[in-house]
């Protein structure tokens, strides 16, 4: 035990234990192939859309997270109705504690599932698309902010980072500008933020929510298109993308962390398949 801290939290006294488990960061795992990668695109309904250079795609569902956040905001607003802006009491403490526990549970399950998928498939790199500070200036309306801004994706990245150092997986954070607009199958260029060339236009188009049409008229999952482009953003890594074909971008598996995750997910990163996305 390195440190013990007693602190007030949600109207209670919490004891924090800091323990040194003796584990050292792993820099090179011989069971992983560092020429392979998983690209991750984050969002709302599809919280995490993942595409690997092995030609596999899957989605971690985010609709329950959105519903939980919206329910939390609704309960807080109802209880504070007619009271001052700074009003807070023990009942609100309990509401916030429940919501935070739900978010922490989702973060731990999602991070463990993704890392286990890397270990299971022998993939040595995770490429996460993230624009720093994007949620701070987000203004999507009252409902949109409740659903998207409150989803703790930044905390998820920190949790994934902790697990990656434990297993020797490289975590690469890259900006994700134009990854949703550009067509992966057509090989569109991916400008950086503020560096879009004059006259740049994508070959394909997002025709409706969740569906992207390429220049040749093929339809693929829009978020999978973004996840594959996120891998392309890391050009210095020279990942082999020849196995990322239309099949991997069209019908990804969808996983529900709260109800469909098998009890053995910690060991093999497996989950029950539910309905696919269009």
Per-residue pLDDT of the chain (278 residues; tens, 9 = 90+): 889 999 998 888 999 999 988 888 888 899 999 999 999 999 989 999 999 999 999 999 999 999 999 999 999 999 999 999 899 999 999 999 999 999 999 999 999 999 999 999 999 999 999 988 766 555 555 555 555 557 889 999 999 999 999 999 999 999 999 999 999 999 999 998 888 888 899 999 999 888 999 999 999 999 999 999 999 998 777 788 888 888 778 889 999 988 776 555 655 554 444 444 43
Q: Which domain holds residue 115?
A: 23-62+101-139+151-268
- The three-state secondary structure class of 59 is strand
Distance CA 115, CA 162 (A): 10
Q: Is 98 exposed, middle or buried (0-12, 13-18, 19+ CB in 10 A)?
A: middle
**Residue 132 CB partners (closer than 8 Å, separation 6+):** 175
pTM score, whole prediction: 0.86
On whether residue 144 sits in a domain, the answer given is no
CATH number at residue 130: 3.30.420
Per the document, the length of the chain is 278
**Residue 202 CB partners (closer than 8 Å, separation 6+):** 178, 181, 182, 183, 188
Q: Which residues pair with 15 in a beta bridge?
A: 6
Cα–Cα separations (whole angstroms), residue 264 to 45, 59, 60, 94, 261: 25, 19, 17, 31, 8
Longest Cα separation, the chain: 62
On whether residue 174 sits in a domain, the answer given is yes
On whether residue 13 sits in a domain, the answer given is no
On whether residue 18 sits in a domain, the answer given is no
In this prediction, residue 92 carries a pLDDT of 92
Q: What is the tally of structural domains in the chain?
A: 1
- The three-state secondary structure class of 212 is strand
On whether residue 241 sits in a domain, the answer given is yes
In this prediction, residue 151 carries a pLDDT of 87
On whether residue 197 sits in a domain, the answer given is yes
In this prediction, residue 276 carries a pLDDT of 40
- DSSP class of residue 48 equals E
On whether residue 205 sits in a domain, the answer given is yes
| Phi, psi of 254, rounded to the nearest 5 degrees | -110, 130
In this prediction, residue 22 carries a pLDDT of 82
* Token representation of residue 82: 């007619």
- The three-state secondary structure class of 202 is coil
Whether residue 156 contacts residue 113, with contact meaning beta carbons closer than 8 Å, is answered with no
Name the one residue in this structure whose structure tokens are 């596999």: 56
- DSSP class of residue 192 equals P
């Amino acid at each position: 035990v390195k440190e013990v801290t007693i602190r007030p939290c949600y109207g209670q006294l919490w004891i924090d234990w800091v323990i040194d488990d003796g584990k050292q960061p792993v820099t090179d795992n011989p069971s992983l192939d560092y020429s392979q990668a998983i690209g991750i695109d984050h969002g709302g309904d599809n919280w995490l859309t993942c595409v690997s250079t092995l030609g596999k795609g899957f989605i971690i569902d985010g609709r329950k997270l959105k519903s939980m956040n919206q329910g939390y905001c609704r309960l807080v607003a109802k209880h504070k109705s007619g009271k001052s802006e700074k009003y807070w009491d023990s009942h609100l403490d309990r509401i916030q504690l429940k919501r935070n526990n739900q978010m922490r549970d989702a973060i731990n399950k999602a991070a463990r599932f993704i890392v286990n998928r890397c270990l299971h498939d022998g993939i040595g790199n995770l490429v996460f698309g993230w624009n720093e500070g994007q949620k701070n200036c987000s203004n999507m309306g009252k409902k949109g902010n409740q659903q998207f801004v409150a989803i703790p994706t930044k905390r998820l990245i920190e949790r994934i980072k902790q697990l990656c150092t434990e297993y020797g997986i490289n975590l690469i954070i890259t900006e994700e500008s134009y990854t949703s607009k550009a067509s992966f199958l057509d090989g569109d260029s991916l400008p950086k933020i503020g560096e879009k060339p004059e006259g740049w236009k994508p070959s394909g188009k997002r025709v409706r929510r969740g569906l992207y049409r390429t220049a040749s008229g093929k339809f693929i999952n829009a978020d999978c298109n973004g996840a594959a482009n996120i891998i392309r953003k890391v050009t210095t890594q020279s990942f082999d993308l020849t196995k990322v074909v239309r099949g991997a971008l069209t019908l990804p598996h969808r996983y529900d962390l709260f109800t469909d995750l098998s009890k053995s997910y910690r060991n093999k990163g497996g989950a029950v398949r539910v309905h696919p996305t269009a």
